[in-house]
Amino acid sequence: MDYSQFLMMPQEIGLLIVFLLVFLFDTFMPKRLQTSLSYITCVLFAVYTAVSMICPLKGMAFAGMFESTAATFVMKQILNIGMLIVLIQSIKWANEDFTIVRRGEFYELLLVTLFGMYLMISARHFLLFVIGLESASLPLAALVAFDKKRYESHEAAAKYMFTAMFSSAIFMMGLSFVYGIAGSLYFNDIAFKVAGTPSALLIVALAFVISGVGFKLSLVPFHLWTADVYQGAPTAVTSYLSVISKGAAAYAFLIIMVQTFGAVYSQVWEWMLYALIILTITLGNLFAIRQRNLKRFLAFSSISQAGYIMLGVIAANEIGMASLMYYVLVYIFSNLAAFGVISAIENKTGRVGMDDYNGLYHTNPKLAFTMMLAMFSLGGIPPFAGFFSKFFIFMGAVKTGEVAIYILVLIALINTIISLYYYLLVVKAMFIVEGDCVVPRIKSETSERLGMTICTLGIILIGPASCIYTFLTLVVKDGSSMFCFIQ
């Protein structure tokens, strides 16, 4: 065996080293030193993220099962940044009395799921992809159930477990059909085999594959688990689920659809996705309007955001792919800012209702300000980053030039107005509604403040700093041969 192939996967190896160090530290360190586990994990991960900025080798490894390109590298790095913020934000929660004894598991499981997502991103063979998919979703069920004294947490974990298993089963059913058609599970082999007039079997297979990934992305109508799981899981896990897990799944989905099934783009899956996007954006938005629990609220908001991300997939071109990565990056910062505020308030007061935020500006102006920036960015208001990412992802979609896509984008744009309505409801509660705020003045922890500062800076700077988007376009251009199958 040629061991130099491992040079293709420096990020995976680095993450494994971090995982092992955390595991060893957690297991063998004496009790009195263990108090610093959270900080050590953060520092280790930060060091790893910084070190892995060194560009890796490009190419295929393990007989073409694993591919490392500039785009996969950058996408993993985007996830790393999000992961780092999640880790920083969860320090306070991890050091609480009821989690401190088990927080080693929290970090280890988190790192394992991230490893799974790396595999999903880099896999060029469905076997490896499924391994990644499973190791990204099963540990998450344990994480969702982390608050083992809370009833909702159990309920959420059970729901997550069942839907994850169910969706994996459907996905693999689809894969077996694909294998039947193509006789191979390599992405590139399948791409050549599916060209031409699609058979009925292929349509069914694609429907299964899309629904399987649709569960992970919580696209409507596969979204029913989302709200309960988001509400029941600990906030740190919810924020992880909503940004990192979703971002990785979206990117992997784009790769599968474009690289593997690109040849039947306009014949089969463009229309499947078209319907899914409209449903996802619209229903996600409409349900979000009625939510009074902020975690449920963000669950539905993230459903509709997933619909916008899918516009980058339906575009199936370089602008779309770059915009998808950019959208995920911006979404990480915006959503994590919102979750940072929610967890800061939840940790101190245990309140997550929207009505509890009434008049928040008068007691906690900085928290309210951060929350407002997050809402504006999610709603796509300039000059915040969300506006740029929305605009670019729309441009990517419209570039296909079909009238139907114009209509799709128009529907998406009208939906941004609906989404703006409910994002403004939060702003209204914090700034406009009078009355005494039930949340007292909070002195937030240094770690929470650090997390929120990073997010705020990201929201303000990522948009106007055009170099980021330009860089992503260059990165995508590097591997643009994958779009050659699209027709």
Q: Is 366 in the site for other proteins (CB under 8 A)?
A: no
Considering only residues 301 to 360 of the shown chain, the ones binding other proteins according to CB under 8 A are 319, 322
Give the separation between CA 46 and CA 82, rounded to whole angstroms.
Answer: 11
Minimum Å gap between C-beta 43 and other proteins is 32
Question: How large is the C-alpha radius of gyration of the chain?
Answer: 21
Secondary structure class of 439 (helix, strand, coil):
coil
Least separation in angstroms between CB 391 and other proteins: 7
Binding part of the chain for other proteins, among 27-35, 86-94, 269-277, 425-433 by CB under 8 A, reads 425-433
Q: Cβ 410 to other proteins, closest distance in Å?
A: 5
Q: Which helix (H) or strand (E) holds 3?
A: none
Question: With CB under 8 A as the contact rule, which of the stretches 107-115, 170-178, 187-195, 462-470 interacts with other proteins?
Answer: 462-470
Shortest Cβ distance from residue 482 to other proteins (Å)?
18
Residues 393-422 that bind other proteins (CB under 8 A): 394-395, 398-399, 401, 406, 409-410, 413-414, 416-417, 420-421
Of 209, 202, 222, 317, the closest CA to residue 268 belongs to 202
What gap in Å lies between CA 409 and CA 394, rounded to an integer?
6
Contact between 382 and other proteins by CB under 8 A: the answer reads yes
Tell me the closest approach of the beta carbon of residue 296 to other proteins, in angstroms.
Answer: 21
Which one, 264 or 408, has the nearer CB to other proteins?
A: 408
Distance between CA atoms of residues 61 and 479, nearest Å:
16
DSSP 8-class letter at 199: P
Is 376 a residue that touches other proteins (CB under 8 A)?
yes
**Distances, alpha carbon 459 to alpha carbons 34, 128, 272, 445, 471, in Å:** 34, 35, 33, 21, 18
Of 18-26, 114-122, 234-242, 423-431, the window that binds other proteins (rule: CB under 8 A) is 423-431
Work out the angle between the directed axes of helices 270-289 and 200-217 (0-180°, nearest 10).
Answer: 30
Shortest spacing between CB 256 and other proteins, in angstroms: 24
191 binds other proteins (CB under 8 A): no
Nearer to other proteins, 274 or 421 (CB): 421
124 secondary structure, DSSP code: -
Residues 79, 84, 88: CA angle, nearest 5 degrees: 150
Please report the DSSP string for 413-436 in residue order.
HHHHHHHHHHHHHHHIIIII--S-
Whole-number minimum distance, CB 434 to other proteins, in Å?
10
Which two three-digit tokens encode residue 225?
């688990």
Q: Please report, as ranges, the residues that interact with other proteins according to CB under 8 A.
A: 319, 322, 376, 381-383, 387, 391-392, 394-395, 398-399, 401, 406, 409-410, 413-414, 416-417, 420-421, 424, 427-428, 431-432, 466, 469-470, 473
